[in-house]
Amino acid sequence: MKTAIICIDGLGKDLVTKENTPFLYKFGKENYFSELKTLFAFTEEYSFFSGQTPKQHGKWFEFEKTKKSIFGNIFVRFFSFNKKIRDYVGSLVQILKKRTWLARTYNIPSSKLKFFDSIIKEGLWNLDFLKDKKVAMYKWPFMISKNKENIKKKLILKYENDSERLNRLFSIKNKEIYYTQLMEIDKNLHKFGKKSEQAKKSLRKIDNLIKKYVDNFEKECGWNIIIWSDHGFADIHKYIDIEKILPKRKNYLYFIAGTTVHFWFKDKKTKEEILSQISRKKEIKILTKNLADKYKIPFSSNFGEVILYVEKGSYFFPNFYQKEENEKFLGMHGYPDDKELNGIFITNIEKFKKNKVNKSLKIEEVIKRI
């Protein structure tokens, strides 16, 4: 039996309605439709396929501090004057090192590139769930065709839209599992916010696209269909420029992400000074070990000796991802536990329908249940 697994990145459960996504809503009601509880993480996809929480697999934040980063390469740093070119050079360096999961360098300052490396380096198809199966996986920019241990990789240089991704994926024949991640909703909700007209258009567009493929699967018969999303979205109401309150000296290292800031210190005095400044900002919180345990994320110095975070609706800007005004996000995810950020899990798999599995699932539980 063939299984189609499609991740619609950024599609929150609150957006799946009769009005927004009539097909997904109907298909879910006729089969099995649950809320998928998100993680305070950017490794939801990895947790979905590994069946582990970030605390268990050790991957939480997209980057970790390292003594020798692949991005410390002289050619990567040389092209820091142009973000797009630097990303291409960074990808080439990763490919030459035989990495099968590529990280971008975004707006990480050139002086800090040598300190940070990507946390995930190998493609999802190497995880246990997919290891001994015939798999077609389009995890851009890699198109993978795998017969158990025999893997063929094709590099797709052009960034393809959701329709092109599905066309390319399902043009491959005779596989057991097909997987891809669709990105348009995530991109538009970041850029325009979840209440925008662009968001509504993206929802209608993805709904029609999914309907087309599901209709084809059902005509062919015998397909297991899984449609899921890794997280939902919240609109941003407050922007925090944290660099304005940080000391200008160079005896500490930091990484500013959208919802977190990560620090490493060379002396106690600087640490105390920064914590004193932060304590005056009620919207900024400090991640403790108890909170890390609660959210099932690793409490490791690889991710920071001190980690700050904000709750839903706030956003650190500028940061090491978005720097220019035209890059500024209006919608965001990656906050601690909040129902608005939960995704979806829709399937026609009989054992889900028959056993009436809980209508709320955790991302790391899904593969075990399948």
Q: 10 Å Cβ neighbour count for 238?
A: 10
Give percent of the chain with pLDDT exceeding 70: 99
* Both structure tokens of 282: 């009620």
Instruction: State how far the Cα of 32 lies from the Cα of 198, in Å rounded to an integer.
Output: 28
pLDDT range class, residue 219, cuts 50, 70, 90: confident
Average pLDDT, the chain: 94
Closest CA to 210 of 231, 228, 188: 228
Q: What is the pLDDT, as a whole number, of residue 358?
A: 67
Bridge partners (DSSP) of residue 253 are 264
Q: What is the pLDDT, as a whole number, of residue 359?
A: 81
pLDDT range class, residue 148, cuts 50, 70, 90: confident
Q: What is the pLDDT, as a whole number, of residue 21?
A: 98
| Interval 240-298: pLDDT, tens | 999 999 998 889 999 999 999 999 999 999 999 999 999 989 999 999 999 999 999 99
* Length of the chain (residues): 370
Strand extents, DSSP E, the chain: 2-8, 32-37, 63-65, 116-118, 134-139, 142-147, 150-155, 177-182, 223-228, 234-235, 238-240, 252-256, 260-265, 284-286, 306-310, 314-316, 331-332, 343-347, 360-362
| Interval 54-80: pLDDT, tens | 999 999 999 999 999 999 999 999 999
Instruction: State how far the Cα of 232 lies from the Cα of 331, in Å rounded to an integer.
Output: 10
* Both structure tokens of 116: 């940070």
Instruction: State how far the Cα of 56 lies from the Cα of 289, in Å rounded to an integer.
Output: 15
pLDDT range class, residue 355, cuts 50, 70, 90: confident
Q: What is the pLDDT, as a whole number, of residue 332?
A: 97
pTM across the whole model:
0.95
Is residue 353's pLDDT more than 90? no
Is residue 1's pLDDT more than 90? no
Instruction: State how far the Cα of 139 lies from the Cα of 169, in Å rounded to an integer.
Output: 10
Cα-based distances in Å from 99 to 92, 103, 124, 153: 10, 10, 12, 12
For residues 18-37, average pLDDT: 96
For residues 71-97, average pLDDT: 94
| Interval 225-245: pLDDT, tens | 999 999 999 999 999 999 999
Q: What is the pLDDT, as a whole number, of residue 250?
A: 85
Is residue 357's pLDDT more than 70? no
Closest CA to 262 of 93, 363, 120, 119: 119
Give the helix/strand (H/E) hosting 337. Answer: none
pLDDT range class, residue 222, cuts 50, 70, 90: confident
Q: 10 Å Cβ neighbour count for 123?
A: 19
Instruction: State how far the Cα of 129 lies from the Cα of 125, in Å rounded to an integer.
Output: 8
Closest CA to 291 of 304, 307, 277, 276: 307
Instruction: State how far the Cα of 109 lies from the Cα of 320, in Å rounded to an integer.
Output: 7
Contact of 6 with 210, CB cutoff 8 Å: yes
Both ends of the chain: CA-CA distance in Å? 13
Q: What is the pLDDT, as a whole number, of residue 354?
A: 79
Pick left, alpha or beta for residue 287 (phi over 0 → left; psi -120 to 50 → alpha; otherwise beta): beta
Is residue 356's pLDDT more than 80? no
User: Residue 60, class by beta-carbon neighbours within 10 Å (0-12 exposed, 13-18 middle, 19+ buried)?
Assistant: buried
